[in-house]
A and B are shown apart, each in its own frame.
Chain A
Amino acid sequence: MNSVTAGLRSLPAVAALWLIACGGPQGNAPPVQSVVETLSSTDTQGYQRAMAPTPFAFPRDHGAHPGFKSEWWYFTGNLSTADERRFGFQFTLFRFAVAPEPPVSASAWATNQAYMAHFAVTDVDGDGFYHDERVARGALGLAGVDSAPFRAWLEDWRVTADGAEPARGCDGCLSLRVTAASDAAAIALSLTSTKPAVRHGDNGLSQKSATPGNASYYYSLTRMATTGTLRVGGETHVVSGLSWFDHEWSTSALEAGQTGWDWFSLQLSGAAELMLYRFRNRDAALAEFASGSYVDPDGGVTRLHPGDFAIEVLDAWTSPVSGVAYPAKWRIRVPRRALELEVTPRLPRQEMNTTFRYWEGSVSATGREAGRPVSGTGYVELTGYQ
């Protein structure tokens, strides 16, 4: 999931242009384009880079890192009602710096920080998918992220610390309230981490290509107990389930020849979690770049290298909106853990037709781990498909 960062660097320009040209997300035709089209600029001059592992300190590092070009706070989760009606949700806040330094101005509006938020609800059993997008400047309190107490917001879509104390000594743990509403859907959820923060890659430095600096800082809260309410179709449901929180920041660009990535986050029945990502190459000669983390029930993390796992595509689905074909079923093998899973979208149509187009959706998994049956739920992100 790390390298999305690189791709979205030139996004504010594109976003605002689309908003101007097309009348915004409320317009009739969703203003969409491929992520890869936005991956043009390689201007990293003046920004901070993810060159070496740095120890994260919480709560400070939950906050924004404005010196890096892009950053996001990503919440996804699978929820269900008492009578087993299933839902998925995604709430993401993106931050982009449009210039390395803030402008010199006495105005409270002046900023080099732009924010974008994506909010989606998947109504698995009602066969519904609702998504919305917002953009705002990181000034005047319109949008921003504070670390202590934690607060991430874009207008009235917000994630705030709910004041409850997470378990003692739980590194980076958070107890949060997530509220967002669009015309079609709304969530008001409480999320409490049950495991400490997982630093991916080399102690949080997540490399994306062989080029030094083409990396991000990346950690996750992989298991957050979730309760609250969710509204779709004018009906409000009391729900509970599990959520996943990603926080990633970087400056680097996508490597030439890389076309996109597949990213998996799975919460398994045995209280383990699995995060995997791989970059797809246009150029077959390019070494495949992939990485992952296996989190055991106690919070112990196993770093997974390219040779440690295999992802096989079993099925495909073509979006009727964009005509883009996406993989729609996978077999994942992690031989070191004797883990084999079949991952299936809980609903095929979870394509985000936002400023840039991608597929981000709720999935379920079944398979075996160390000979015993295992199941799970999670989220998959697919970018760069055309």
Chain B
Amino acid sequence: MMLARVSLRNLLRHPWQSILSMVGIALGVAVVIAIDLTNDSARRAFKLSNEMVAGQATHHIIGGPAGLDETLYRDLRVEHGLRQLWPVVEGTVRLVAHDAERLSVIGIDPLAQTDNSAIYRATRDLSATELLSTDNAALLTDATARRLGLAIPGELKVRGAGGLHRLRVTAAGKPGSALEEQALRAVVLTDIATAQVVTGRLGRLTRIDLELAGPEAVARVRRLLPPEAELAGSASRGNALRQMTRAFEINLTALSLLALVVGMFLIYNTMTVSVLQRHAQIATLRTLGVGDRELFLAVGGEALALGVLGVLAGIALGISLSHQLLGLVAQTINDLYFRLDVQKVSISALSLAKGVALGIGATVLAALAPALEASRVPPQITYTRSGQESAARSSVGRLARWALAPSAAAAVLLALPGGNLYAGFAGLFFAIFGFALLAPALLLLIVRITHRGLSRALGLIGRMAGRGVTESLSRTRVTVAALAVAVSATVGVGIMITSFRATVEHWLVNYLRADLYVSASGGAGNVDPGVIRRVAALPEVASITTARWTKLDGAAGRTQLFVLDADAAAFANFQFKHGDAAGAWPRFKSGEAVIVSEPYAYHNRRGVGDTVVLRTDSGTREFAIAGVFYDYGSDRGVVALHRDTYQRHWADAAISSFAVYLDPGVDAERFAAALERDVLAGSGLTLRSNRQLRALSMDIFDRTFAVTQVLRVLTVVIAVIGIFSALMSIQLERGREFAVLRANGFTPRQLWALVTTETGLLGLAAGVLALPLGLFLALALIFIINQRSFGWTMQVWLTPEHFVLGLALAVGAGLLAGLYPALRLARTPPSFALRHE
């Protein structure tokens, strides 16, 4: 009881210190919770929309890039008497108004639909006859109609692969729950005939959903399928898609944990300093008979109290932060992976629990050493500060030796060939820990190196400042380590993003060689071949290459196909990692071989000389891999094949985009304007110049890293708060020392200079330490984490800005932290300070 009061008084006596370390933990927990909630919400939204689509279906029949022949459905029902199956035609359209918002069109057969999935439940009060009998009839949810400002009945102008259409919205449904509401937010339900026309899938089905009971039923359906079709379990489809975003999620989680680690240093710092400050008090308590255990628990309890308060604040903060992050994460998923509509953060108890556990766990872990330290204070009154400091200095070597173990673990985890992503991140965290142990030794080294310079520049004050740092090593070592870790994180992530960006930019310059690119807008459609013929016939046009982006879904996952009708010259635009354009071209052209992107090769562990198995219209077929090319467009990778090859094996003539090469001397800008006006107007096609497309790509790139940047900034904020509080407490503790200096004739100004020089020196030391660690982190992120997440090779792009910024940040934080104590000390009359002591 007495101890609790002592603890409480101690926490209250240093309110700023307590509050700031609480804020540190709160921010750390907030970031962890926010990322977890965001990931979880995206996951949920995905699961929900997947279920919405899957309904009671246990399986799907999926076809080639162009879906399935619709007669398969008829045969299964009419010839083979299958009953529990439902045809689906699905596609994306863009609204002509409303900023070309994307909507999913889902076409069903209302007469076959005895399925009980949410999407059909949501339409229960709508007339199915109208779907069938009204041309282009469509249903929306009530909320969507309101959002689009659509009166019912009303008309929606949409553009899909089937061209421009007017959907007649005959009714609006009220979904049964908020979750269904959310899942149906951007969905238009139509009859299957309407969906075929609007999404340009005449004669085709996107898939057939089935409800199959037992392996015999599954085997029977498998036997009935034509070679181009495949039966997949409902779960496998979702899993395959989910798999795509896994690396992205892990990276976000790791970054959020980094924020927590920095927060952990804060608690550790606060508790260590607090124990050191109270050595005398603790020694007195011991003489009064307070045992090891009680002291250990008292200090641990103080930390826990701070931790709990911090965690509670962190939960609230995390939830509100997740609302901000959700948009960014959803945007990235939409940019990079698949269409996902996620609007609401779903607060899961599990995410909160994880955050609480991590926050409390981190606090306890961080308080362990200071609590032990407190319980080991000998019961004697002859306490000396110098004793503490000499102990701290003698431990420097020991700590540095201890750094060997985590460093070795890091080296093993990072260097282990074939290691996975988790091992990579674990290695990264070990490396940071090892470095933190090494920090005191490095700090001393830095002070020694700078000593001469400082004393030359600032004279006595410079010398005193240097000594001040080493004299208070017991306190400063943790502070410097924490600041160094935080700064290095921002330097490392910064270098990684810059390198990545530069690599992609460089790649785009080489890759985008054509003058103009024309594509069906937003991937929601195809290019009319007539348009291509007209453009090709223009005198200014030297050549045209067409491209088709499509995907092959299979039970084993999704394969992205990139189909192009390039000639040898255009093919040479590929930059090969393995193989070369000249060698690969004949085999690529003949259809014997394909080329695969670097991430594809990485994820599927394939290379030149291996084969890729693809499900064609006539069954699965092996293609040789003639080359592995650099590509940063898809982190799951693509398989590129020649259009002739593609059309030999798949009945799909659709074209997604085409590139126009102009004759030399043609003014691309004027030609583009004329093309837009004379050929493309009203076609729904988008024209972009080489430069615009590059800029657009980089925009998407930057959007993708928006979340990373936010996390990076948050980590820095946590660090700065921590440093600020740590340095301030160190300086405030020295009231008596400074009073003596004042009494000996130090002016307030000199004192001010001394304090800020010292904190600035600490900041500088942290900054200097952060630079090699930051570089190391950057290299690990580039060569290990990114490789293991996505399989990309990146050029390391070192620009001074990240180092300069990191250094400035560290020094700035140091100087800022010195300001207040310096001001306060300078204003305190020395007699008061002395008496007060």
Residues of chain A whose beta carbon lies under 8 Å from any beta carbon of chain B: 10, 12-13, 15-17, 19-21, 23-27, 98-99, 103-112, 114, 135-137, 139-142, 153, 155-156, 181
Could you tell me if B135 and A108 are in contact, using CB atoms closer than 8 angstroms? no
| Contact A106/B197 with A26-B114, A156-B78 known, Cβ cut-off 8 Å | yes
Could you tell me if B129 and A141 are in contact, using CB atoms closer than 8 angstroms? no
Could you tell me if A103 and B70 are in contact, using CB atoms closer than 8 angstroms? no
Contact of B193 among A12, A109, A153 (CB under 8 A): A109
Could you tell me if B77 and A142 are in contact, using CB atoms closer than 8 angstroms? yes
- B621 partner residues in chain A, CB cutoff 8 A: none
How far is A215 from B128 in the complex, measured between Cα atoms in Å? 28
How far is A109 from B124 in the complex, measured between Cα atoms in Å? 22
Residue of B nearest to A155 (CB): B77
How far is A20 from B56 in the complex, measured between Cα atoms in Å? 13
| Contact A181/B81 with A12-B132, A17-B128 known, Cβ cut-off 8 Å | yes
Could you tell me if B197 and A111 are in contact, using CB atoms closer than 8 angstroms? no
**Besides the contacts A12-B128, A103-B133, what 12 more A-B pairs have beta carbons closer than 8 Å?**
A16-B113, A20-B120, A27-B114, A107-B192, A107-B196, A108-B70, A109-B70, A109-B193, A112-B132, A114-B132, A137-B109, A141-B74
- A108 partner residues in chain B, CB cutoff 8 A: 70, 193, 202-203
Could you tell me if A136 and B111 are in contact, using CB atoms closer than 8 angstroms? yes
Within 8 A of A (CB), among B685-707: none
Could you tell me if B116 and A23 are in contact, using CB atoms closer than 8 angstroms? yes
The winner among B120, B133, B197, B202 for most chain A CB atoms within 10 A is B133
Residues of B within 8 A of A (CB-CB), count: 38
Per-residue 0/1 for B248-264: is the Cβ within 8 Å of any A Cβ (1 yes, 0 no)?
Answer: 00000000000000000
How far is A27 from B197 in the complex, measured between Cα atoms in Å? 33
- B197 partner residues in chain A, CB cutoff 8 A: 105-107
- A140 partner residues in chain B, CB cutoff 8 A: 70-71, 73-74
Show 20 A/B contacts (Cβ-Cβ < 8 Å), sorted by A.
A13-B127, A16-B113, A16-B128, A20-B121, A20-B128, A25-B114, A26-B84, A107-B194, A108-B202, A109-B192, A110-B191, A111-B132, A112-B132, A135-B111, A135-B112, A139-B193, A140-B70, A140-B71, A155-B83, A156-B81
Does B80 lie at the interface of the complex (its beta carbon under 8 Å from any beta carbon of A)? yes
How far is A98 from B73 in the complex, measured between Cα atoms in Å? 23
Residue of B nearest to A17 (CB): B128
How far is A314 from B277 in the complex, measured between Cα atoms in Å? 107
- B193 partner residues in chain A, CB cutoff 8 A: 103, 105, 107-111, 139
Could you tell me if B133 and A112 are in contact, using CB atoms closer than 8 angstroms? yes
Could you tell me if B109 and A13 are in contact, using CB atoms closer than 8 angstroms? no
How far is A10 from B133 in the complex, measured between Cα atoms in Å? 12
Per-residue 0/1 for B81-93: is the Cβ within 8 Å of any A Cβ (1 yes, 0 no)?
Answer: 1011000000000
- B120 partner residues in chain A, CB cutoff 8 A: 20
Could you tell me if B78 and A153 are in contact, using CB atoms closer than 8 angstroms? yes
Could you tell me if B135 and A104 are in contact, using CB atoms closer than 8 angstroms? yes
The winner among B79, B124, B135, B193 for most chain A CB atoms within 10 A is B193
Could you tell me if B127 and A20 are in contact, using CB atoms closer than 8 angstroms? no
Q: Which 5 A-B pairs have the closest CB atoms?
A: A24-B114, A16-B128, A13-B129, A107-B193, A99-B133
Does B110 lie at the interface of the complex (its beta carbon under 8 Å from any beta carbon of A)? yes
Could you tell me if B74 and A19 are in contact, using CB atoms closer than 8 angstroms? no
Contact of B110 among A16, A26, A110, A141 (CB under 8 A): A16
How far is A141 from B71 in the complex, measured between Cα atoms in Å? 9
How far is A103 from B203 in the complex, measured between Cα atoms in Å? 17
How far is A375 from B510 in the complex, measured between Cα atoms in Å? 94
- B81 partner residues in chain A, CB cutoff 8 A: 155-156, 181
How far is A155 from B109 in the complex, measured between Cα atoms in Å? 14
How far is A16 from B131 in the complex, measured between Cα atoms in Å? 11
Could you tell me if B74 and A20 are in contact, using CB atoms closer than 8 angstroms? no
Could you tell me if B78 and A20 are in contact, using CB atoms closer than 8 angstroms? no
| Contact A20/B70 with A107-B192, A153-B78, A156-B79 known, Cβ cut-off 8 Å | no
Could you tell me if A20 and B124 are in contact, using CB atoms closer than 8 angstroms? yes
- B84 partner residues in chain A, CB cutoff 8 A: 26
Per-residue 0/1 for B652-693: is the Cβ within 8 Å of any A Cβ (1 yes, 0 no)?
Answer: 000000000000000000000000000000000000000000
- A10 partner residues in chain B, CB cutoff 8 A: 129
Does B21 lie at the interface of the complex (its beta carbon under 8 Å from any beta carbon of A)? no
- B77 partner residues in chain A, CB cutoff 8 A: 136, 142, 155-156
Could you tell me if B124 and A141 are in contact, using CB atoms closer than 8 angstroms? no
- A139 partner residues in chain B, CB cutoff 8 A: 193
- A21 partner residues in chain B, CB cutoff 8 A: 124
Contact of B123 among A20, A104, A137 (CB under 8 A): A20
How far is A110 from B135 in the complex, measured between Cα atoms in Å? 9
| Contact A13/B128 with A23-B116, A25-B114, A142-B78 known, Cβ cut-off 8 Å | yes
How far is A181 from B123 in the complex, measured between Cα atoms in Å? 31
B224 to chain A, nearest CB (A): 13
How far is A137 from B87 in the complex, measured between Cα atoms in Å? 13
Per-residue 0/1 for B796-821: is the Cβ within 8 Å of any A Cβ (1 yes, 0 no)?
Answer: 00000000000000000000000000
The winner among B84, B112, B124 for most chain A CB atoms within 10 A is B112
B748 to chain A, nearest CB (A): 82
How far is A133 from B73 in the complex, measured between Cα atoms in Å? 20
| Contact A20/B110 with A106-B202, A108-B203, A109-B196 known, Cβ cut-off 8 Å | yes
A28 to chain B, nearest CB (A): 11
- A15 partner residues in chain B, CB cutoff 8 A: 111
Residue of B nearest to A183 (CB): B83
- B74 partner residues in chain A, CB cutoff 8 A: 140-142
Could you tell me if A105 and B128 are in contact, using CB atoms closer than 8 angstroms? no
- B202 partner residues in chain A, CB cutoff 8 A: 106-108
- B191 partner residues in chain A, CB cutoff 8 A: 109-110
Residue of A nearest to B56 (CB): A23
| Contact A16/B192 with A107-B197, A140-B74 known, Cβ cut-off 8 Å | no
Could you tell me if A105 and B135 are in contact, using CB atoms closer than 8 angstroms? yes
Contact of B135 among A103, A114, A141, A153 (CB under 8 A): A103
- B113 partner residues in chain A, CB cutoff 8 A: 16, 19-20
How far is A19 from B194 in the complex, measured between Cα atoms in Å? 21
- B134 partner residues in chain A, CB cutoff 8 A: 99, 103
Could you tell me if A105 and B133 are in contact, using CB atoms closer than 8 angstroms? no
Within 8 A of A (CB), among B97-154: 109-114, 116, 120-121, 123-124, 127-130, 132-135
How far is A27 from B114 in the complex, measured between Cα atoms in Å? 9
A63 to chain B, nearest CB (A): 18
Could you tell me if A156 and B128 are in contact, using CB atoms closer than 8 angstroms? no
Residue of A nearest to B127 (CB): A13
The winner among A17, A20, A23, A27 for most chain B CB atoms within 10 A is A20
How far is A111 from B135 in the complex, measured between Cα atoms in Å? 10
Could you tell me if A136 and B132 are in contact, using CB atoms closer than 8 angstroms? no
B193 to chain A, nearest CB (A): 4
| Contact A137/B111 with A105-B193, A109-B191 known, Cβ cut-off 8 Å | yes
A216 to chain B, nearest CB (A): 22
- B133 partner residues in chain A, CB cutoff 8 A: 98-99, 103, 112
- A112 partner residues in chain B, CB cutoff 8 A: 132-133
The winner among A27, A114, A155 for most chain B CB atoms within 10 A is A155
A295 to chain B, nearest CB (A): 35
- A137 partner residues in chain B, CB cutoff 8 A: 109, 111-112, 132
B52 to chain A, nearest CB (A): 15
The winner among A23, A109, A114 for most chain B CB atoms within 10 A is A109
Residue of A nearest to B211 (CB): A26
Residue of A nearest to B205 (CB): A109
Could you tell me if B114 and A136 are in contact, using CB atoms closer than 8 angstroms? no
- B124 partner residues in chain A, CB cutoff 8 A: 17, 20-21
Residue of A nearest to B130 (CB): A13
Residue of A nearest to B132 (CB): A98
How far is A19 from B202 in the complex, measured between Cα atoms in Å? 26
Could you tell me if A156 and B135 are in contact, using CB atoms closer than 8 angstroms? no
A241 to chain B, nearest CB (A): 26
How far is A68 from B71 in the complex, measured between Cα atoms in Å? 28
Residue of B nearest to A114 (CB): B111
Could you tell me if B129 and A12 are in contact, using CB atoms closer than 8 angstroms? yes
Residue of B nearest to A104 (CB): B135
How far is A26 from B84 in the complex, measured between Cα atoms in Å? 10
Residue of B nearest to A99 (CB): B133
